[in-house]
Amino acid sequence: MSEITYKYIRDYLMAIEPDDDIIIRTIRKDALNNNVPIIKSEVKNLLKWILATKKPSKVLEIGTAVAYSSIIMSDFIDTDGCITTIERSEDMIKKAKENIKKAGKENVITLLEGDASDILSSIDDTFDVIFMDAAKGQYLTFLPECLRLLKKGGILICDNVLQNGTVAKSRFSVPRRQRTIHNRMREFLWELNHNKNFQTSILPIADGVTLSYKKY
Ligand SMILES: C[S@@+](CC[C@H](N)C(=O)[O-])C[C@H]1O[C@@H](n2cnc3c(N)ncnc32)[C@H](O)[C@@H]1O
């Protein structure tokens, strides 16, 4: 798989990173051994930094997987704060529940089981931070709900938006079967950048991350 960053720089940055606690390290190792796609270290550090400065009381995550990122974020929310996270895969839900219990975060993290396409519209709450890390082809359709669910002054963070750099290439250079998702991600990035409600920055770290501040 191609990367959008230089390996030697990533390796160096990883080498100088402080260790996470044993539970986080174990979840990470287990996820990587089982090919579960979890956030890369750069994204982990970015989330920690944003949450440490923002001190959100309510966080929404779309795409829990094994709850690695939600457990990390839960250490940075305000006292009495909570994380709501959505996952549709039964295997992931099972593992996420085990990990949330192991981390002692059952009172802080609420796992909503099902497809975000069905669940998002039923949420009657607003959030300080939304972390979107689900199926990339759905980001564009989830965007209006994210806008509705995000408080004014809130931050929308979306992971894996550059798809190994292919998003920046012509559609004719990507295999035909990937062209729909290529097109959708390009539309999504265009919309985020041009939506008047948001101030957006697209960071070429990990596999591409967007940060959008909701201005109005
Ligand atoms: C990249 S993984 C999430 C990783 C997780 N945020 C972490 O870093 O620990 C994406 C997850 O989103 C889930 N997913 C994808 N599309 C979804 C949808 N429409 N509704 C709910 N879950 C979805 C997948 O089943 C998968 O477990």
Q: Which atom of ligand 1 is nearest to the CA of 43?
A: 8
Residue 47 belongs to a domain: yes
What is the C-alpha to C-alpha distance for residues 198 and 202, in angstroms, rounded to an integer? Answer: 12
Residue 113 belongs to a domain: yes
Residue 158 belongs to a domain: yes
The tally of CA atoms less than 13 A away on the side-chain side of residue 177 is: 0
Q: Which atom of ligand 1 is nearest to the CA of 66?
A: 9
3-state helix/strand/coil string of the chain: CCCCCCHHHHHHHHHCCCCCCHHHHHHHHHHHHCCCCCCCHHHHHHHHHHHHHHCCCEEEEECCCCCHHHHHHHCCCCCCCEEEEEECCHHHHHHHHHHHHHCCCCCCEEEEECCHHHHHHHCCCCEEEEEECCCHHHHHHHHHHHHHHEEEEEEEEEECCCHHHHHHCCHHHCCHHHHHHHHHHHHHHHHHHHCCCEEEEEECCCCCEEEEEECC
Q: Which atom of ligand 1 is nearest to the CA of 119?
A: 20
86-111 pLDDT, tens digit per residue, is 999 999 999 999 999 999 999 999 99
Residue 1 belongs to a domain: no
Q: What's the whole-number average pLDDT of the chain?
A: 96
Q: Summarize the annotated binding site for S-adenosyl-L-methionine as residue ranges.
A: 39, 69, 87, 115-116, 133
CATH number at residue 77: 3.40.50.150
Q: Which residues pair with 212 in a beta bridge?
A: 156, 200
Q: How many domains does the chain have?
A: 1
Instruction: Specify the pLDDT at position 5.
Output: 85
Q: What is the mean pLDDT of residues 137-165?
A: 97
Q: Which domain holds residue 54?
A: 7-214
Instruction: Specify the pLDDT at position 1.
Output: 54
Residue 77 belongs to a domain: yes
Nearest CA to ligand 1 atom 12: 63
What's the CA-to-centroid distance between 62 and ligand 1, angstroms? 6
For residue 4, pLDDT beyond 90: no
Residue 132 belongs to a domain: yes
- Two structure tokens written together for 74: 């839960």
Instruction: Specify the pLDDT at position 206.
Output: 93
Residue 2 belongs to a domain: no
Q: What is the mean pLDDT of residues 141-165?
A: 97
30-62 pLDDT, tens digit per residue, is 999 999 999 999 999 999 999 999 999 999 999
- pTM for the model: 0.97
What's the CA-to-centroid distance between 168 and ligand 1, angstroms? 23
